[in-house]
Amino acid sequence: MSPTSQAAASRRGHTAATFDSLDPATGEVVGTHPVHTEEEVRAAVDLARTEAAWWAGLSFTGRKRHLTAWKAAMVQRLPELIEMVHRETGKPLGDATLEAGLAIEHIGWAAGHARRVLARRKVSPGLLMAHQSASVAYKPLGVIGVIGPWNYPVFTPLGSIAYALAAGNAVVFKPSEYTPGVGVWLAERFEEAVGRPVLQVVTGLGATGAALCHAGADKIAFTGSTATGKKVMAACAETLTPVVIEAGGKDAVIVDADADIPVAADAALWGACSNAGQTCIGVERVYVHEQVYDEFVDALTTKAARLHAGADGKIGPITMPSQLHVIRRHVQDALDKGGRAVVGGLDAVGERYVQPTILVDVPENSLAVQEETFGPTMTVAKVRDMDEAIELTNATAYGLGSTVFSKRHGMTVAERIRSGMSAVNGVISFAGIPSLPFGGVGDSGFGRIHGPDGLKEFTYAKAIARQRFRPMLTLTTFDRTEKTDRLFTRVIGLLHGPRTRR
Ligand code: NAD
């Protein structure tokens, strides 16, 4: 058990069960952590409530100073974080570095922009209420419960945690049972930098996450599978606790006839296979204009044939062993339905690693086209035109991210895709731009992290109307006369009647 897990466990008097996090490349134990119980989770939320009062009482500048110190503490010991991410997820060190760096960038943005987005500001009261001064501010909700996945154990939960903290909330974070060490490390650096447990971590399996939904938090920010997201929402409905659901995806790349084919092929391959394909916004499907289909498939397969998953490769192991069955089932189903593997195939799915797999001629009703595979695989299909590409892209229940390659039509095509985010002539680029909101529609969930929307997600809007002078027409009194009513009707007619041009 890590020192912080032990400290947290003893602070909560924890004596019972523990669980191990394992290195998916070797099966070795990376760390042992307490399985926090319902009472312990509740105690963490209670403590967070006290911390939230202190934290919310600071100014935006005060919180920014603390968040900047946290960020600096992380940067100072970055190699440790990268090693922990590498060991718990299996991803190559370079990918772990990229993830951590982007996450730290988000902390900086959230801390630096909270005042501009959330502080009280005046809004126009309108002509009817010109005697009022109207303003709105965004207040912290209190305690935010964050439930995280394992695939990006730094970037993904920090998308909620950093924005919730910058907005003035305290956070109780339940990391995935596959990456508890990363969660504990983040909270350790916070307590070191700030000196108070405004960010706490509770560890455990799904039951600990379920306990967090019932522990009295003011909002739950969940990132994980759609199936678990539904359970979280159902649990939170009992107490009318609001939720953000960042769930799975089935993202497509569209390649138009005028696209730069080598660039599109390189991006599609990286989008599908980096992090062993275990990316919510990873590329799972590609739709290519018939005029450039052969050229694209050639470029893609040539590149993919040089890519290798393994301890020495650029693709790490599959983090969650049970996912290997899902990947195998999707490839098998695609082949059974008449698809062909032009790279990889069923044999590519090994004991721990999956080699890149490119499937063509796969019917659209196949599992590999409709359900999240979460492996280094992709389907590539030929389309007549962009209308067909958009129609097929939109024909899944998910709607997280998407990508378009086209020199002239990128924006037009992107606008017509039903997804929370699109990248044009690049891949996954939106996730690295802190000012852009991140989130999906449909089975990919709802609510937004990142950007101004991500800050507001962890607040409630507080409106104030302050009377500046007595109005010509006092409307909110029982002393209102018929004359006032007639005048009011005339004003409404002038403002909104058929001849008004407003
Ligand atoms: P998961 O749903 O299995 O688990 C996510 C978290 O929920 C874990 O911490 C888990 O312990 C917890 N949990 C399990 N049961 C629970 C319950 N009943 N109540 C509350 N919490 C519970 O997901 P995963 O396998 O860890 O992550 C992979 C999934 O996450 C993929 O579907 C991926 O697309 C998705 N994901 C989405 C985003 C996004 O931003 N949209 C980002 C990363 C990952």
| Per-residue pLDDT tens digits for 176-209 | 999 999 999 999 999 999 999 999 999 999 999 9
Residue 501 domain flag: no
Of 8-22, 367-381, 382-396, 478-492, minimum mean pLDDT range: 8-22
**What is d(CA 236, CA 104) in angstroms, rounded to the nearest whole number?**
30
Dihedral class, residue 164 (left if φ above 0, else alpha if ψ from -120 to 50, else beta): alpha
- CATH number at 417 reads 3.40.309.10
250 has pLDDT over 80: yes
Provide mean pLDDT across the span 57-67. Answer: 98
Residue 6 pLDDT grade (very low, low, confident, very high; cuts 50, 70, 90): very low
- Between 262 and 4, residue with greater pLDDT: 262
Q: Is the pLDDT of residue 25 over 80?
A: yes
**Which two structure tokens, joined as six digits, stand for 60?**
């935006």
Q: Which candidate, 31, 29, 33, 38, places its Cα nearest to that of 9?
A: 33
Structure confidence at residue 501 (pLDDT) = 63
Question: What spatial distance separates the first Cα and last Cα of the chain, rounded to whole Å?
Answer: 66
351 in a domain, yes or no? Answer: yes
Name, in order, each residue with C-beta under 8 angstroms of 264's C-beta and a sequence gap of 6 or more. 253, 255, 296, 405
Residues 358 and 421 reside in one and the same domain: yes
Tokens 């501009």 locate to 116
Residue 349 · residue 383 · CB < 8 Å = no
Look up tokens 């019917």; give the residue.
363
Looking at residue 7, its pLDDT comes to 46
Mutate to test the pocket of ligand 1, among 228, 279, 372, 402 (most ligand atoms within 8 A of CB): 228
Do 239 and 271 sit in the same domain of this protein? no
145 lies in a domain?
yes
Contact call for residues 144 and 164 (beta carbons, < 8 A): yes
- Look at the block and give the residue holding tokens 């159902």: 234
Gap between the Cα atoms of 417 and 402, Å rounded: 8
231 and 371 both lie in a single domain: no
Q: Rounded distance, CA 444 to CA 267, Å?
A: 22
Name the DSSP letter for residue 267.
H
Cα-based distances in Å from 454 to 163, 190, 245, 459, 493? 6, 21, 12, 10, 40
Between CA 12 and CA 283 the distance in angstroms is: 43
Binding pocket residue ranges, ligand 1, CB within 6 Å: 147-152, 156, 174, 176-177, 205-206, 209-210, 213, 223-225, 228, 231-232, 246-249, 280, 320, 372, 400, 440, 444
Element of type H or E holding 369: helix 367-370
Between residues 128 and 9, which one has the greater pLDDT? Answer: 128
Note whether 266 and 196 are same-domain residues: no
Residue 484 within a domain: no
The pLDDT assigned to 465 comes to: 98
CA distance 412 to 406: 10
For a pocket test of ligand 1, which of 280, 327, 374 has the largest count of ligand atoms closer than 8 A to its C-beta?
Answer: 280
Calpha distance 488→129 (Å, rounded):
12
Ligand 1 midpoint to CA 66 (Å): 29
Q: What is the CATH number of the domain that holds 37?
A: 3.40.605.10
Q: Tokens 């009482």 label which residue?
A: 57
| Assigned domain for 323 exists | yes
Q: What local confidence, expressed as pLDDT, does residue 16 receive?
A: 76
Q: How far is CA 203 from CA 9, 184, 353, 495, in A?
A: 10, 8, 27, 59
CA dihedral 346, 349, 351, 352 (to 10 degrees): 180
User: Which of 147, 109, 167 lies closest to 460, judged by CA?
Assistant: 167
Edge-to-edge strands of the sheet including 459-467?
121-123, 132-140, 459-467
Contact 319, 150 (CB under 8 A): yes
Pair (179, 262) in one structural domain: no
Same domain, yes or no: 262 and 160: no
Catalytic residue ranges: 246, 280
Does some domain include residue 496? no
Residue 5 has pLDDT above 60, yes or no: no
Å from CA of 361 to ligand 1 middle: 31
232 in the same domain as 153: yes
Domain hosting residue 393, numbered range = 252-433
Distance CA 191, CA 199 (A): 8
Query: Total domain count for the chain?
Result: 2
| Distance (Å, whole) CA 257 – CA 95 | 32
**152 and 63 housed in the same domain:** yes
Report the separation in Å between the CA atom of 297 and the middle of ligand 1, taken as the mean of its atom positions.
33
**pLDDT category, 14, cuts 50, 70, 90?**
low
Question: Pairing between strand 459-467 and 445-446?
Answer: unpaired
Q: Tell me if 79 is assigned to some domain.
A: yes
Q: How far is the CA of 89 from the centre of ligand 1 (A)?
A: 14
Q: Do 265 and 121 belong together in one domain?
A: no
Is 258 contained in some domain? yes
Looking at the structure, tell me whether residues 103 and 133 fall in a common domain: yes
- Tens digits of residue pLDDT in 342-396: 999 999 999 999 999 999 999 999 999 999 999 999 999 999 999 999 999 999 9
52/141 Cα distance (integer angstroms): 9
pLDDT at 256 over 60: yes
Q: What is the average pLDDT across 474-489?
A: 93
**Mean pLDDT of all residues belonging to the chain:** 95
369 & 429 share domain: yes
Residue 195: CB atoms within 10 Å: 10
pLDDT value at residue 499: 75
Looking at ligand 1, which residue's alpha carbon is closest to its atom 26? 149
Residues 303, 268 within the same domain: yes
101-118: string of b/e by CB count within 10 Å (b at 16+)? ebbbbbbbbbbebbeebb
At 434-469, the pLDDT tens digits run 999 999 999 999 999 999 999 999 999 999 999 999
**Closest by Cα among 222, 276, 203 to 457:** 222
